Amino acid sequence: MAPRSDTSKRLSELRMKHGRPPASPLEPKAEKAETLREAQPRFRGLESGHRACQGCGEALAARLVMESAGPDVMVANATGCLEVFSTPWPQSAWRVPWIHSLFENSAAVASGMEAAMKAKGKNTKVLSFGGDGGTYDIGFQALSGMLERHHNVLYVTYDNEAYMNTGIQRSSSTPHAATTTTSPAGKERMGKRHLKKDLLSIIAAHHIPYAASASVAYPADLQRKVRYAMGVEGPTFLVIHSPCPLGWRHDSALTVEVARRAVQCGLFPLVELERGALTNIMPIREPRPVADYLELQGRFAHLFRKDDYRAQEELDHLQALADHNIETYGLKGEGLDPMDSTGMSHVRRGGPLAGRS
Amino acid sequence: MVQLTRGTWAQAGTSLDFKTGNWRSTQRPVHVHAKAACHAACPAGEDQQAWFALLQEQKVQDAWVSLVHANPMPGVTGRVCPHPCETACNRTGVDGALAIHNVERWLGDEAVRLGWDYPVEPPAANAPTVAIVGAGPGGISAAYHCVRLGMKAEIFEALPEAGGLLRSAIPPTRLPRNALDGELNRILDLPGITLNTRQRLGRDLTIDGLRAQFAAVLLSPGCELPKHWSVKGAVPADLHEGLQLLRDFMDHGALPDAAKGDVIVHGGGNTAMDICRIMKRAGAKSVTLITASGLPGPGTAPDDIINVVPRELEEAQEEGIEIIDHATVSRLIMKGSRVTGVEIVSLKKEAGKDGRKRRVEFEGTERVVSVDMVVPCVGEQVEPEAFEGYLDGAYFWPDNPFGRIADRVFAIGDARGNRGTVAAAIGDGRLAAEAVAAELSGEADPFADERPVMELDGLNTAYYAGSSRARVAKLPVSERTFEAEIEGPISRSEALAEAQRCLSCGNCLACDNCWTMCPDNAVIKTTELAMDGSHYVFDYDYCKGCGLCVQECPTGYIQSVPETA
């Protein structure tokens, strides 16, 4: 047998170290027995030990994305919570090549990484991650450029609707009437005065092959969208609604419940766009009142004050915005659909069966 | 070429060195297998959820084996039990309780049809023998469980046939005799069970004689003696007590002549309901039930609802039985010693000074109805002959769940004052047999299952799809006779579909929610190492205690407990 090159020796060392299975029968198996964690039947792209808060929606979303995108991916990450909590020096929670440069340029860095891969003749997919601050506001022009230059990159924005990392400042993604440290509810204003930026429509205007919104409350739907985007050649975009227990001021156990209600009331529509055209939506079986969603969160507590006449007005305003979404995207479901906002949650107990009404 | 300085970098996955588990301050998630509400409510001790889980896997025979581990007569209880399991079923609060009794009955019938073997071994030749007095449901259950636990059972029955009140007092419209015999004979044929008929305690046997001869004595004599009934001292000369009337009718199919006219039945149990329906079918001009309890409805307190099988009540009303609830007979109007009318007065159970409920008659609500016959159905008590020294008043009142009333003597079934269903008798038989087995092998009494019960508010119902309860055909009123069974069977496909409706309360259904939704990757999926019946273990090295898995677990199998140590 020919002596192995240095590279393959190094590769097998790395594989042993990280418990990855050998790439070929010639390579030695890891000597130590697989731990339970290593034996998990899924790719652990974002590993435990990261410093996200209890019940972090963004950590959950990133974990779900990495599971279905990995392992043959590279990540460019904008500044933000995700970057900070996943890479406390000298450790990293990532198990893929991962680069952080600045707040505003993750799409630009990803563009360069993709160009480099192309030059080297490799098919490794490049992912670009950012929060809503790094996407809706600060990194917006870099993102627009990346889309326009048609790089083969999946851009994922983890939308927790404010600058959480620096202390809950409003972003252009913060919903109307939410209180943040820079849009406090009080005598002058009922939280943020302006509206949440309709980023998806701007993305759609780039006529990219695929853009979609997803929510941590529907992991199967989220992962389907990631897998679909991974198979597309060219720029793709995913925005994931990721509740932040700290900034939204809800119980850490309620992250998924809050996200689910956001979808079910129509304030966060789950849609898919191809070449700028609406191609799919998740229908809402029974739209819930927005109050169901808002009442769980401290950032909307001022909307439930009985002694303030503006509270009802703003509640009605948010309801109107949700109704507008339902109208615009045609979200109202028709009957029992296993793929609607209710059916997608169901575990297999009592599901539709042949011969039953 | 310019050499760029290297940026900072870290090796992959090294965050594992940092154990975020020490962030947990107050709560940690644990797996808790709480009792399903149906299981907790079952007097026979069946774990309905366990056998529904096997049905979900299409393992029909295994489901039956799991069921008969507690109750050897599912074909019988599926027909006669008031199914408190369905009342307790958490699906009631979602879209209707599971049709547990229909599926139970189907399993019992399948076992008889296909001749499935009971999960028992023939007892050893020198195995201890237990004497059982009475071959009703309690005695049969006790005999079966004695054999299941490696003992022999010798049953002594006063009547020529086994079955007790299943044969003598339950009409074939509820329990066809071939269904009863099919199941009963299979149990009596088990190796180690001997049935001696026409053996009456007090005449042919004595308790002390049995105690001397056998390893233990289980008493399940049932209640044969009608409770004394009179209205302010008056008793009609031609009084027919309900249970006796029912027995006579089942024996020779005839009712007294007065039963052709207007009849009033006074009482509020299944016997009262049965006799009402039989008399109506036999041609009574009108049958009216007078009961102190209330009819089920939004305004009725749960402990005030008439204690009959709900579907029996429904069927009786369909058949034209009139029911006067919250009332009692306050006076008999007699012509000579014959009844010609009754005075009825409204009453209700009201809490008194000491908080205990008592019956209060409301003055001014009296009305007189003319009748031809009054049938009291106010309950029965133990025939005291032969039980001197063991009875406490009218019944046995053991101070332990196993029914032990003296050394190696146990009382089970209706003869215990607070029983009253076939399922309770079956459960008593099992508990007594288990206590005997433990005692004979020198062990302490078995433990009672004291796990907490999983209620609806512990479930996350967002994860369950709506699905309506199976509808079972019933004989139309015009076709109902004294023989034909009224409630129809459920088909195999319907039974298996019904099993899919089980919410699996308090028990892991392997949905992967915890594994999928943990932001910290601290739920590990494994089939080998999870020893608690689930497929998951918590990695407390990294679990931050956010509680997401607790919230999103559909069945309440994951619960938060205070962090200790």
Averaged pLDDT for residues B465-478: 88
Residues B237 and B281 in one domain: yes
Kindly state whether residue B503 falls inside one of the protein's structural domains: no
Q: What is the 3-state secondary structure (H, E, C) of B407-419?
A: CCEEECHHHECCC
Dump pLDDT digits (tens) for A239-255.
999 999 999 999 999 99
Mean pLDDT by 10-residue block, N- to C-terminus, for chain A (357 residues)? 62 68 56 78 92 96 95 95 92 94 95 96 95 95 96 97 95 96 93 94 96 96 95 96 96 96 96 95 94 96 92 94 94 86 74 37
Q: In this structure, is residue B459 part of a structural domain?
A: no
**Whether A58 contacts A81, CB under 8 Å:** yes
Nearest CA in chain B to A223: B516
Mutation target to probe the A interface, by most A beta carbons within 10 A, among B520, B536, B555 is B520
Which residues of chain A make contact with B467, given a CB cutoff of 8 A? 350-353, 356
Q: Name the residue facing B11 among A55, A92, A346 (closest C-beta).
A: A92
Amino acid B191: pLDDT: 93
Domain contains B350:
yes
Nearest-CA distance B503 → chain A (Å): 7
Pairing outcome for strands B523-525 and B262-267: unpaired
Range of the domain at B537: 14-33+508-562
Superfamily classification of domain A41-338: Thiamin diphosphate (ThDP)-binding fold, Pyr/PP domains (3.40.50.970)
Let me know whether B156 and B188 are in one domain.
yes
B389: left (phi over 0), alpha (psi -120 to 50) or beta: left
Per-residue pLDDT at B124: 92
Name the closest residue on chain A to residue B470, using Cα atoms.
A356
The reply to whether B152 and B72 lie within a common domain is no
Last residue of a domain, one of B377, B393, B424: B377
Kindly state whether residues B29 and B41 are assigned to the same domain.
no
CB contacts, 8 Å: B544 with chain A: 53-55
B11 touches chain A (CB under 8 A): yes
Contact criterion met (CB < 8 Å) for B524 and A255: no
Determine the pLDDT at residue A357.
Answer: 34
Which tens digit of pLDDT belongs to each residue from B412-467? 998 898 888 899 999 999 999 999 999 998 888 888 778 899 999 999 999 988 88
Nearest Cβ partner for B12 among A95, A350, A352: A95
Nearest to B15 among A41, A54, A91 (CB): A91
Residues paired with B344 in a beta bridge: B329, B367
Q: B-contacting residues of A 98-157, CB under 8 Å?
A: none
B70/B149 Cα distance (integer angstroms): 12
How many domains would you assign to chain B? 4
Question: What digits encode the pLDDT tens for the residues B51-102?
Answer: 999 998 899 999 999 999 999 999 999 999 989 999 999 999 888 999 999 9
Distance CA(B421)–CA(B428), nearest Å, equals 11
Chain A within 8 Å of B218 (Cβ-Cβ)? no
Do residue B466 and residue A52 have CB atoms under 8 angstroms apart?
no
Contacts of B541 in chain A (CB under 8 A): 48
Question: What is the average pLDDT score of chain B?
Answer: 89
CB contact under 8 A, B493 and A348: no
Task: Based on the fold, state whether residues B103 and B152 are members of the same structural domain.
Answer: no
A335 near B CB under 8 A = no
For chain A positions 226-255, those within 8 Å of chain B (CB to CB) are: 245, 251-255
Q: Write the CATH number for B113.
A: 1.10.1060.10
CATH number of B327's domain:
3.50.50.60
In a domain, B173, yes or no: yes
Question: Considering the domain boundaries, does residue B538 fall inside one?
Answer: yes
Statement to judge: residues B41 and B97 lie in one domain: yes
Q: B234 and B201, same structural domain?
A: no
Check whether residue B512 and residue B476 sit in a common domain: no
Chain A contacts of B11, Cβ < 8 Å? 92
- Using a CB-CB distance cutoff of 8 angstroms, which residues of chain B are in contact with residue A49? 14-20, 542
Cis status of the peptide bond prior to A71, with omega within 30 of 0: yes
Q: Is there a single domain that holds both residue B235 and residue B336?
A: yes
My answer on whether B109 and B134 are in the same domain is no
Q: What is the CATH number of the domain that holds B551?
A: 3.30.70.20
Q: Tell me, yes or no, whether B233 and B371 share the same domain.
A: yes
Mean pLDDT for B171-178 is 91
B496-552 confidence digits (pLDDT tens):
999 999 999 998 888 889 999 999 999 998 876 666 778 899 999 999 999 999 999
Instruction: Summarize pLDDT for B91-144 with one digit per residue, the tens.
Output: 998 889 999 999 999 999 999 999 999 999 999 999 999 999 999 999 999 999
CB contact under 8 Å between A47 and B16, yes or no, is yes
As a residue count, chain A comes to 357
B321 belongs to a structural domain: yes
Cβ-defined contact of A41 to B10 (cutoff 8 Å): no
Residue B267's contacts (CB-CB under 8 Å, 6 or more residues apart) are: B242, B289, B291, B376, B377, B378, B379
* pLDDT of the residue at B5: 62
Query: Minimal Cα–Cα distance from A133 to chain B, Å?
Result: 21
- The shortest CB-CB distance from A49 to any of B20, B462, B502 is to B20
What CA dihedral angle connects A263, A269, A270 and A271, to 10 degrees?
A: 170
ipTM: 0.87
Tell whether B149 and B216 lie within a shared domain.
Answer: yes
Among A residues 155-184, those touching chain B with beta carbons less than 8 Å apart: none
pLDDT at A256: 96
